[in-house]
Amino acid sequence: MTDKPMHFCPGCTHGVIQRLVGEVIDELGIQEETIAVGPVGCAVFCYDYWDVDFHQASHGRAPAVATGIKRVHPDKVVFSLQGDGDIAAIGTAEIIHAAARGEKITCLFVNNSIYGMTGGQMAPTTIVSQKTTTSPWGRDSGQAGYPVKLTEMLAILDGTAYCARVSVHNPAHILNAKKAIRKAFEVQLNKKGFSLVEILSTCPTNWGLPPLEAVKWLEDNMLSYFPLGEYKAAAGV
Amino acid sequence: MGKVLMKGNEAVAEAAILAGCRYFFGYPITPQNEIPEYMARRLPEVGGVFLQAESEISAINMVFGAAGSGARVMTSSSGPGISLKQEGISYLAGAELPCVIVNMARGGPGLGNIAPSQSDYFQATRGGGHGDYRMIVFGPASVQELADLTLKAFDLADKYRNPVMILGDGILGQMMEPVKFKTNKAREIPAKPWATNGARGRKRNLITSLYIVPEELEKHCLKLKAKYDEISSREKRHDSYFADDAEIILAAYGTTARICKAVVDQAREEGIRAGLIRPVTLWPFPDAPYCKAANSAKAFLTVEMSTGQMIDDVRLAVNGKKPIYFYGRTGGVVPSKAEILAEVKKILERGALEWKRYLRGHNQ
């Protein structure tokens, strides 16, 4: 990690996730071997925080950019970090096909069920009845459909070697999340195939909640719709 | 290597490999499929990687990743697919990444058709994507030139850290001609200390086009502008054919330039002093030869397979000194030698009075 103070809003758990990734990179001793790919969204400035080679991708295309990097440097560690809008809406094709190809990259998917950077619009993972600026009366499933369960979708693909959903709403879950992130990197280091970790995260600012209530909202509303656990761990992983 | 008979698309692909290109990302679209097909066969033989992407959008972003990682990399497509790549091209230009993009253009707009066309000229030369950027664009007119300019394109892309486009069309991609590859030795690929390959023993490298503070983005854009000015002053290329004593100058590139060359031959046989100035770089546009010819020629005729796009650049170069007429066929229709020659005769028959009237109308 660099010494730069993070730009995230007070109470947002994005910073925790960035720190976990930094810790895993250090523990695996791969800082000089790693090339990261950043998204468009709240994590757009993550190149300021991880002290590794870095590509800033266009919105949703990080898995394609990571593919280009990995094909040129098959022995380096290449990973992306993307939000829900980036990976599960505009970048749906890129993530599904990177997984289907068994691309030996790691994608970290931060799901806070809202577009944070643009000011709180409805995301592909916004829960039914959740209020956002573009679903002001709550997401109406009759009109706007249902949240995308990306990790479940990717689990059925043969190219996916490992995918899991974790959360960072309390210390026990933060430790679990770190284990999953580490495992995803190890899957790549062992050249097993594609790996992804979906991380449930809070957005106090755009949910309109104080940080502690935001943690509780995640627990009460997101965990039931987005169950935690390993969805795929291929043989030998 | 002697001369070999090859399709234009295959010549581009082989030239890319000779240029040291080892990575190709593409998506099928007619009439350029021979490029990815050739690459799929050939790249593994030379230790490279061919990857068929799930879309043109993904393909250009794979190019972004590979280019930023220091590789020589190419993608190819045609009209609708090139439209999809525009976002990526803008990011490549913004992050100053070298790569080569081939457009074997087809009829448009929309789905259009798969017949040859030159209606992507604006998209190629005006910056089809968003933002303040420029792309070097070559307009080859033969299979030999497709090969030569593809080699050149990789060198210029690296030299200026900028995307370079080869703008061909369905005829150039599909036709077979003898071609000689003018390089056998391994190309010298310049060092790329800015590329990402793991920050071992050095400060980390950042590939980005994000400059959140307006003054910083302005500084970046002005730096790009200085680079584009340098490209403009050094890289303009054209080919003149009987232009020195011509009373009428034809302006055409690529496929239509070949037809216009035959028109000039026929016209000269009939005692008409016609000439041709063919831009080889479409951006930067070689304005000087047109400007010079405007001192001696009486009129210009721009010929395109479009409703008139390059004519804007000819007008800027001639700058109101002489009348510029247009003849074009579009929608995938190729103009014939006879049609163009008839147009040449029509313009000359109009005579000086009519030309003056034309100029008055256009210069007001």
Residues 6+ away with beta carbon under 8 Å from B257 = B139, B141, B239, B276, B278
Domain assignment present for residue A112? The answer is yes
How far does the CA of residue A172 sit from the closest CA of chain B (Å)? 33
Contacts of B196 in chain A (CB under 8 A): 35, 53-55, 69
Q: What percent of chain B has pLDDT over 70?
A: 98
Query: Looking at residue B364, what is its pLDDT?
Result: 60
**Arithmetic mean of pLDDT, A202-221:** 97
**Arithmetic mean of pLDDT, B268-284:** 98
Residue B189 confidence (pLDDT) above 90 = no
Residues 6+ away with beta carbon under 8 Å from B104 = B8, B9, B31, B32, B35, B76, B77, B78, B168, B169, B170, B172, B173
**Sequence ranges of the domains in chain B:** 4-234, 239-363
**Arithmetic mean of pLDDT, A170-195:** 98
Contacts of B206 in chain A (CB under 8 A): 47, 53-54, 56
Q: CATH topology of B4-234 equal to that of B239-363?
A: yes
- Number of Cβ within 10 Å of residue B349's Cβ equals 8
Q: What is the pTM of this model?
A: 0.97
Is the N-terminal amide bond of B109 cis, ω within 30° of 0?
A: yes
Token code pair at residue A99: 């997984």
Is the N-terminal amide bond of B289 cis, ω within 30° of 0?
A: no
Q: Name the residue in chain A with its Cα closest to that of B196.
A: A53
Radius of gyration of chain A measured on its C-alpha atoms: 16
Residue B363 confidence (pLDDT) above 70 = no
Contacts of B63 in chain A (CB under 8 A): 68
Please state, in angstroms and as integers, the Cα–Cα distance from residue B347 to each residue in A102, B303, B341, following that order.
62, 13, 10
Contact A47, A1 (CB under 8 A): no
Query: Looking at residue B187, what is its pLDDT?
Result: 72
Q: Measure CB to CB from residue B196 to each of A54, A58, A94 and give the nearest one.
A: A54
Q: Name the residue in chain B with its Cα closest to that of A66.
A: B65
Beta bridge partners of B48: none
Query: Looking at residue B327, what is its pLDDT?
Result: 98
Domain assignment present for residue A63? The answer is yes
Q: Tell me: the pLDDT tens digits for B115-136? A: 999 999 999 999 899 999 999 9
Token code pair at residue A74: 């098959």
Residue B228 to residue B94: CA distance in whole angstroms: 13
Contact B142, B6 (CB under 8 A): no
Beta bridge partners of B177: B6
Please state, in angstroms and as integers, the Cα–Cα distance from residue B243 to each residue in B47, B131, B149, B288, following that order.
47, 37, 23, 13
Contact with chain B for residue A79, Cβ under 8 A: no
Domain assignment present for residue A118? The answer is yes
Contacts of A35 in chain B (CB under 8 A): 69, 196-198
How far does the CA of residue B226 sit from the closest CA of chain A (Å)? 24
Q: Fill in the amino acid letter for B206.
A: L
Q: Do B53 and A97 touch (CB under 8 A)?
A: yes
Q: Measure CB to CB from residue B207 to each of A34, A54, A67 and give the nearest one.
A: A54
Query: Under CATH, to which class is B239-363 assigned?
Result: alpha beta
Q: Name the residue in chain A with its Cα closest to that of B89.
A: A58
* Chain B residues 181-210 within an 8 A CB cutoff of chain A: 196-201, 204-210
Q: Do B62 and A64 touch (CB under 8 A)?
A: yes
CATH number at residue A102: 3.40.50.970
Q: Measure CB to CB from residue B61 to each of A52, A68, A71 and give the nearest one.
A: A68
Q: Fill in the amino acid letter for B78.
A: S
Residue A91 domain boundaries: 14-233
How far does the CA of residue A192 sit from the closest CA of chain B (Å)? 19
How far does the CA of residue B136 sit from the closest CA of chain A (Å)? 22
Residues 6+ away with beta carbon under 8 Å from B79 = B103, B105, B106, B107, B108, B112, B117, B119, B120
Q: Do B65 and A51 touch (CB under 8 A)?
A: no
Confidence label for B362 from pLDDT (cuts 50, 70 and 90): confident
Query: Looking at residue B316, what is its pLDDT?
Result: 98
Residues 6+ away with beta carbon under 8 Å from A21 = A50, A79, A81, A108, A181
Contact B141, B171 (CB under 8 A): no
Residues 6+ away with beta carbon under 8 Å from A88 = A95, A109, A111, A123, A124, A125, A148, A150
Give one DSSP letter per residue of B311-348, joined into a string: HHHHHHHHTTSS-EEEEE--TTPPPPHHHHHHHHHHHH
Query: Looking at residue B352, what is its pLDDT?
Result: 78
**Residue B281 CA from chain centroid, whole number:** 6
Best of A30, A33, A53 to mutate (most B CBs within 10 Å, chain B) = A53
Query: Looking at residue B268, what is its pLDDT?
Result: 98
Q: Do B65 and A93 touch (CB under 8 A)?
A: no
Q: Name the residue in chain B with its Cα closest to that of A47.
A: B206
Q: CB pairs below 8 Å between A and B: how many?
A: 124
Confidence label for B355 from pLDDT (cuts 50, 70 and 90): confident
Best of A67, A75, A79 to mutate (most B CBs within 10 Å, chain B) = A67
Query: Looking at residue B20, what is its pLDDT?
Result: 95
Query: Looking at residue A179, what is its pLDDT?
Result: 98
The residue with greater pLDDT, B352 or B66, is B66
Helix (H) or strand (E) holding A20: helix A14-28
Token code pair at residue A146: 């249902």
Find, among B347, B349, B332, the residue nearest to B302 by Cα: B347
Contacts of A32 in chain B (CB under 8 A): 198-201
Contacts of B87 in chain A (CB under 8 A): 58
Residue A202 to residue A219: CA distance in whole angstroms: 10
Q: Measure CB to CB from residue A64 to each of B61, B70, B208 and give the nearest one.
A: B61
How far does the CA of residue A51 sit from the closest CA of chain B (Å)? 7
Contact B135, B89 (CB under 8 A): yes
Contact B144, B3 (CB under 8 A): no
Contact with chain A for residue B334, Cβ under 8 A: no
Domain B4-234 part of CATH 3.40.50.970: yes
Contact B3, B76 (CB under 8 A): no
How far does the CA of residue A97 sit from the closest CA of chain B (Å)? 7
**Arithmetic mean of pLDDT, A182-189:** 98
> Is residue B281 classed as helix, strand or coil in its secondary structure?
strand
Give one DSSP letter per residue of A111-167, joined into a string: E-SSBTTTTSB--TTPPTT--BTTBTT---HHHH-----HHHHHHTSTTEEEEEEEE
Helix (H) or strand (E) holding A214: helix A211-217
Query: Looking at residue B1, what is its pLDDT?
Result: 66
Contact with chain A for residue B175, Cβ under 8 A: no
Q: Measure CB to CB from residue A52 to each of B64, B204, B210 and give the nearest one.
A: B204
Q: What is the mean pLDDT of chain A?
A: 97
Helices (H), chain B: 8-18, 34-42, 56-68, 79-94, 121-125, 143-160, 170-174, 214-234, 254-269, 287-293, 311-318, 337-363
Contact with chain B for residue A64, Cβ under 8 A: yes
Which class for B296: exposed (0-12), middle (13-18), buried (19 or more C-beta within 10 A)? middle
Q: Do A47 and B71 touch (CB under 8 A)?
A: no
How far does the CA of residue A42 sit from the closest CA of chain B (Å)? 13
Q: Fill in the amino acid letter for B217.
A: L
Token code pair at residue B17: 């490999």
- Number of Cβ within 10 Å of residue B116's Cβ equals 26
Confidence label for B186 from pLDDT (cuts 50, 70 and 90): low
Contacts of A44 in chain B (CB under 8 A): 210
Q: Tell me: the pLDDT tens digits for B199-230? A: 999 999 999 999 999 999 999 999 999 999 99
How far does the CA of residue A191 sit from the closest CA of chain B (Å)? 17
Number of separate domains in chain A: 1
Beta bridge partners of A23: none
